[in-house]
Structure 1
Amino acid sequence: MGALLHRLLLKEDPSIYQLKDGSLDPTLTTIDLIGLGTGMVVGTAIFTLPGIVAAEHTGPAVPLAFIVAAVGAGLSALAYAETSSVLPFAGSAFSWMNVLFGEFFGWVAGWALLAEYFISVAFVASGWSAYMQGFLASLGIKLPVALTGGFNPGKGSYLDLFAALAILVVGWLLSHGVHQVSRIENTIVAIKLLVIILFIAVGLTAIHPTNYLPFIPPHKPGTTFGGWSGIMAGASQIFIAYVGFDAIAANTAETRNPQKIMPRGLIGTLVLGTGFFIAVSLVLVGMFKYSRYANNAEPAAWALRQAGHNFTANLLSVVALIGIFSALIAILLASSRLIYAFGRDGLLPRFLGKINHRHVPNRALWTITFLAMILGSIFPFTFLATLVSAGTLVAFIFVSLGIYALRKREGQDLPEASFKMPGYPVLPAISAIFSAFIFWNLNVDAKLLMVGWFVIGLLVYFTYGIRHSVLVNRQN
């Protein structure tokens, strides 16, 4: 038993990661990181979630749910900023926990991240598909019902064709290298933000103040709608929007001067993203009664069409179609780096840790691309939204608690952080507790699915990972 515990707690030497990740090309700047983070944070979620959360949980108080989620995510972002500046390695929390707590904890954190990334790719693609179908329908073009959504025989849908195609196209783009893709990403994000500002300006002309009353509807017993319990339930679902923080951190090894640039990218993304979320959700619930957004994955464009602004609605749909690609780019990029890190450490097959002549882990990239295509084309949008939040929250808890182990080693065997999480030792604990509280407020299905996911992860680790681990074999 003692020998097994020793193996589980073996810590990786950070210099090994520096050497292994040296083949990745450090080209990303502060603007690139904010572009990647904003592309994810102000991505599918801003075009889809405000309406769904308002209808299912909060009513007009959906901005409060975004603020609650932003506070929790902001605390975690501070922890991410410090950790990434000290440990600039691919794989974010997976690699960090390997160094700070040992390989087993690294695997658990990484497995949670894999759920987050894997499901996020499918979720974002599913949202893109909904917008594409809405846009084509406005032109009188409709796909056969069987190809319009995830597997749901009751509704006659079996496969989301557009979701699968979107993931495939982004995978092909990323296979050509990070530097070229970051230019596309920054351009898309700039256009997207301009159109969101246009939506806010046009939507303000169609506001009906009575739609805000009551701002916090009374709680409906036996449901997650209304009152502060509805706001907390909404915040739990909204946490998917803040997965962009981990997506940024996953690219630390490909960032120039990560000690300074990574904290700027993380905090810049938080401020920019939260501001846009609050503005868009306020306008959206002011235009129409929140209940009308139920099961609507393209609420912003729908609201504009219903208000008679067809040109702006179609413009928004076109930009959403392009803009949601920026979220796909960010999250598929991050997920491929995590799979690469698993392969690099031998916890998944070693071929996944190979890097090609373009400095891209192409085998990891195409593996996650094809798996996400299957997931995104079969599972429905709201199911994916709920599950991904669970993985995000587990990662946030790990990184927040990791600050305690990190501080003890800064200036010893690890460099001093250029950015330190304020309020130590209190804020890291508050951050972890906040994320745990949000996790507890997820619906039962999400928690059960996460338990099932971890059971699979433990089976993979103890039947394959621990026997092929580079770290364990190097110690023997």
Structure 2
Amino acid sequence: MENFFKAFTKKEDPSIYEDKDSHLVRVLTVKDFLALGVGTIVSTSIFTLPGIVAAQHAGPAAILSFLIAAIVAGLVAFAYAEMAAAMPFAGSAYSWINVVFGEGFGWIAGWALLAEYFIAVAFVASGLSANFRGLLASLGVTFPNAISNPLGTNHGIIDIVAVVVIVLVALLLSRGVSDAARVENVLVVLKVLAIIVFLVVGATAINIHNYVPFIPKFHVNPDGTSFGGWQGIYSGVSMIFLAYIGFDSIAANSAEAKDPQKTMPRGILGSLIIAATLFILVGLVLVGMFKYTNYANNAEPVGWALRQAGHGTIAAIVQAIAVIGMFTALIGMMLAGSRLLYSFGRDRMLPKWLGKLNPNGLPNHALLFLSTIGVIIGAIMPFAFLAQLISAGTLIAFMFVSLGIYALRPREGKDVADPDFKMPWYPVLPAVAFLGALAVFWGLDIEAKVYSLIWFIIGLVIYFLYGKNHSLNQKN
């Protein structure tokens, strides 16, 4: 037992990560990270979630759900910013926790994040496919069911559009992060402009009476979830938090950041502030345009609201740009996921093939593996029941990182860099961030907690059967 605990808590020397990751090219700037963060956070969810949360849980007070979720995410983002500035290593939470708490805890945090990236790649690709096919259908072009849906769903065999978009993004990323960043920057600007157009046009159709009552009376929905009151707002927080977790994808690429001391905090915090502001404004305008009950079971509330307000052409333009803009989230998730898999291979926690770089210093083996898994999940397997695993896995990593500040702070300026940015109000704020993430996790559906437990057990089995026995850290 003593040997097990010693192996599980053996910390990685941060200088080893500095040396291993030095082969990755540092080319990403603050502008690139802002685009990467906003592009990942402000995915298709900004066009759907405000209406869903309002109709199912909080009414007009959905705006408070967005705000509270943003505050919790912001607290965790402070911890992420300090960690990324002090230890700009590939793999984000996995590598950081490996250094401050030990290999076993690092593996748990990284394994939890891996669920996010695998499933998020599949979900974004599937969502992009559905929206793209929806646009074509409005023009009279339809796909056969066999190539429109995952295996076993509505007579489907494979979602061919999801396969194509994953392959296209993988090919783009395989050329290097500079090319990907340029494409990301352009697409993010387009997407933000589309959101601004909606806000300006939608604001002209706001009816102040739609905000009353701001917090509807509490009752229990037929499915057992809460609506109205603070209980409904809390349920909305857990649902909407899924949209904000994308900022951790920035941290996974910190080994490729120019001047990470300044770049990482500005990219992480800046992108979250921009994205949260856009979410809150979209929710405010959407609920103001029509009573929140109109958005029940509405798959495209933004487009519907614009059309009902007499702006059909603008609705079509906004939705078309939204589909194009979904590529930004796919780029962000695949970029971050491949860097996490690379870091597992780098440390031999998974086969070393994943940790190999090509002659241009790119982890394309890890990218190929991630793309393959994304295609299998998103194009062939029905996966709707796994949706909340994305939130659950990431929240576990968030809790580790928040507590990790307590282990990091005494080592700054010694064996790790003394970062220019530090989490304010230490030692209080890291505990508040941990409790906030725990509260959001507690609000997830029971299925999400069960699935995260199953994923956790699978991860421990892999660690004890493979990772611990092959780990370079254990051999040092």
TM-score calculated relative to the size of structure 1:
0.95
- Paired residues of 2:386 and 2:451 also in contact (CA < 8 A): no
Give, in angstroms, the shift of residue 296 of structure 1: 3.7
1:10-409 counterparts in 2 under 5 A? 10-150=10-150, 153=153, 155-157=154-156, 159-221=158-220, 222-378=224-380, 383-409=385-411
Q: Letter of the aligned partner of 1:405 in structure 2?
A: A
Deviates more, 1:39-48 or 1:217-226: 217-226
Give, in angstroms, the shift of residue 281 of structure 1: 1.2
Cα–Cα, structure 1 residues 227 and 159, in superposed 2: closer, same or farther, change >3 Å?
farther
Deviation per residue, 1:275-314 (Å, 9 max, x gap):
1001111122222333333344432223223333121111
Q: What is the alpha-carbon distance in structure 2 between the residues aligned to residue 435 and residue 169 of structure 1?
A: 34
- Paired residues of 1:250 and 1:338 also in contact (CA < 8 A): yes
Q: What is the alpha-carbon distance in structure 2 between the residues aligned to residue 10 and residue 354 of structure 1?
A: 24
Deviation per residue, 1:16-63 (Å, 9 max, x gap):
101111111100000000010010111222123222222222222221
Q: What is the alpha-carbon distance in structure 2 between the residues aligned to residue 379 and residue 302 of structure 1?
A: 30
Cα–Cα, structure 1 residues 232 and 160, in superposed 2: closer, same or farther, change >3 Å?
farther
Cα–Cα, structure 1 residues 25 and 297, in superposed 2: closer, same or farther, change >3 Å?
farther
Secondary structure at 1:424's aligned position in 2?
coil
Give, in angstroms, the shift of residue 411 of structure 1: 2.0
Give, in angstroms, the shift of residue 209 of structure 1: 3.2
Cα–Cα, structure 1 residues 212 and 160, in superposed 2: closer, same or farther, change >3 Å?
farther
User: Aligned residue for 2:442?
Assistant: 440
Q: Letter of the aligned partner of 2:194 in structure 1?
A: V
Deviates more, 1:28-37 or 1:405-414: 405-414
Q: Letter of the aligned partner of 1:283 in structure 2?
A: V
Q: What is the alpha-carbon distance in structure 2 between the residues aligned to residue 106 and residue 144 of structure 1?
A: 45
Q: What is the alpha-carbon distance in structure 1 between the residues aligned to residue 229 and residue 380 of structure 2?
A: 34
- Paired residues of 1:48 and 1:127 also in contact (CA < 8 A): no
- Paired residues of 2:386 and 2:448 also in contact (CA < 8 A): no
Give, in angstroms, the shift of residue 378 of structure 1: 4.9
Q: Letter of the aligned partner of 1:274 in structure 2?
A: A
Cα–Cα, structure 1 residues 73 and 39, in superposed 2: closer, same or farther, change >3 Å?
same
Q: What is the alpha-carbon distance in structure 2 between the residues aligned to residue 116 and residue 130 of structure 1?
A: 20
List runs of 5+ in structure 1 lacking aligned partners.
Answer: none
Alignment length (residue pairs): 473
User: Aligned residue for 2:5?
Assistant: 5
Give, in angstroms, the shift of residue 172 of structure 1: 1.3
Q: What is the alpha-carbon distance in structure 2 between the residues aligned to residue 209 and residue 240 of structure 1?
A: 29
Deviates more, 1:324-333 or 1:233-242: 233-242
- Paired residues of 1:127 and 1:381 also in contact (CA < 8 A): no
- Paired residues of 1:239 and 1:392 also in contact (CA < 8 A): no
Q: CA RMSD in A?
A: 1.7
Secondary structure at 1:237's aligned position in 2?
helix
Q: What is the alpha-carbon distance in structure 2 between the residues aligned to residue 276 and residue 64 of structure 1?
A: 14
Give, in angstroms, the shift of residue 385 of structure 1: 4.0
Q: Letter of the aligned partner of 1:200 in structure 2?
A: L
Deviates more, 1:373-382 or 1:166-175: 373-382
Cα–Cα, structure 1 residues 157 and 58, in superposed 2: closer, same or farther, change >3 Å?
farther
TM-score calculated relative to the size of structure 2:
0.95
Cα–Cα, structure 1 residues 374 and 457, in superposed 2: closer, same or farther, change >3 Å?
same
Give, in angstroms, the shift of residue 218 of structure 1: 2.0
Cα–Cα, structure 1 residues 72 and 149, in superposed 2: closer, same or farther, change >3 Å?
farther
Identity over aligned pairs, percent: 55
Q: Letter of the aligned partner of 1:398 in structure 2?
A: F
